[in-house]
Amino acid sequence: MEYINDSTIRSILNLQGSPLIQKSIADRQIEVIRKGFNFLSQDENNALYIADEVGLGKTYIALGIASLLRHFSSNPENHQDVIIVPKNNLQLKWKKEILQFSNNNYQLLDNRVKSVIGKPTGEITIHNQLEAIAADVPTYHLYRSSSFSFGLSIDESTKILDDLQHCFIDPISLAYLEEAKRLGYLKNTNKGLLKKFCAYLMAITNPVIELLIVDEGHNFKTGPGSAENAEVAARNAVASRFFGIKMNTEEDLKIFSDFPELKNQVKPRVQKLIVLSATPKTYSLVEIKNQLDCFLPNHILSNCKREADIKEKLPYFLIRGKMEYTI
C-alpha cells in the first residue's frame, strides 16, 4: 500500500490521550508509529525491532502500529494479532493497555479496531497454556513465553493424551497423537520429540497471524537452535515450530519421516513481526538475528553470516530511542 503521512495517522490516533503524557513523547511515538507502519505495510518487509529505552512507550508504539495494520487490513473480519510476554502479570498488563488504547487513543469507530460502542473489535484472549489458536473473530491472543516450554508428565499411558487435549481444536490433530502414541512418542525418553511434534500439530491448525508482537524479545536471543540451558532450548524450539517454521534436526527429520503428510501442512504463520526490547543484545548483534530466526523463516538478517553484515542492516529495521531528562 502507499505510505501514509503524519496528518493521516493523527486523524486515526491521538497519543496524547492523557494530560500526563508529554507532547514531546507523544510526538515521537507518532513518528515511530508512522515509520514502523510504513515499513511493515510494504510486502517485502516483515520484521521491525523497537529498541527504545524504558519510559518511551514501546507498548503504545506497538499498539499504534498494530491498530493501523488492522485498520488498513484486507482481512478485518478475521484479523489475528499474537502477543508474547514473559510473565502472566504482563498478560494482564497488555490486556489493560489494549483496552485503554482503544478507549483513549484510537479515534475511529470503524468496527475494525474499535466498535461503534467504543470497545475493541473482536476479543482479547489470555492463554494460560500453550494451545492452538481459534480464529473465528478478530482477536488479540496473549501468550506468555514460559508456555512454550510446556511440561509433560509422560507415563506411557493414555493420561498424556488427556493432558494434551486442551492444546488442539480439531480431531485431525488428536488422530495424529494416537498414531504418535503407537510409534512410541509418549515414552519418557522422547519428551523433546513429543514437544516438537505437538508444536507442529498446533501450527497446522493455527490461522495466518497478521502480526506477532514479542515483548522483551531478548529472552529469545539464543535462537531456535541450541541454547545455554535445556529449558530455554525447549521453549525456543517449540515457539519456532508453533509458528510454522520447519527445522532439520534429527528429531524433526524423524517426525517428517513418520508423518510425511505433515511436512507439507506445516507453513509459516507469521506475516509481520514486531520485537520490543530495551536491551536487544547482551554480547553480540547475532542475538538480534537469533530473535528474528525464532519467528520468521526468512527476514532481513537471514543471509547475514558476520556481525558486520548485521550491523550494516540495522538502520533499515531497528529503531532506537533514548530517554532525555530535564532537571
Q: Enumerate residues 6+ apart whose C-beta is below 8 A from 87.
A: 144, 146
pLDDT in tens, 17-31: 776 677 888 898 999
pLDDT in tens, 33-43: 999 999 999 99
The pLDDT assigned to 60 comes to 94
∠ CA 47-50-53, rounded to 5°: 165
| Interatomic CA distance for residues 45 and 43, integer angstroms | 6
| Interatomic CA distance for residues 7 and 264, integer angstroms | 45
Q: Grid cell 476479543 — which residue?
A: 123
Sequence letter at residue 63: L
Could you tell me which residue, 98 or 26, shows the higher pLDDT?
A: 98
Compute the average pLDDT of residues 201-228: 89
Q: Enumerate residues 6+ apart whose C-beta is below 8 A from 100.
A: none
Q: In what order do the strands lie in the sheet with 123-126?
A: 123-126, 139-144, 80-85, 209-214, 270-276, 47-50, 318-319
| Interatomic CA distance for residues 80 and 314, integer angstroms | 27
Q: Grid cell 483496552 — which residue?
A: 99
188 to 102, 165, 221, 253: CA distances (angstroms):
47, 19, 29, 20
Do 147 and 82 touch, CB atoms closer than 8 A? no
Do 30 and 42 touch, CB atoms closer than 8 A? no
Sequence letter at residue 166: H
- The DSSP secondary-structure symbol of 187 reads S
The pLDDT assigned to 225 comes to 73
Q: Which residues of 214-229 are buried (b: 16+ CB within 10 A; e: fewer)?
A: bbbbbbbbbbbeebee
Do 82 and 133 touch, CB atoms closer than 8 A? yes
| Interatomic CA distance for residues 48 and 318, integer angstroms | 6
Name the band, by pLDDT with cuts 50, 70 and 90, for residue 115.
very high
| Interatomic CA distance for residues 160 and 152, integer angstroms | 7
pLDDT in tens, 270-300: 999 999 999 999 899 999 999 999 999 999 9
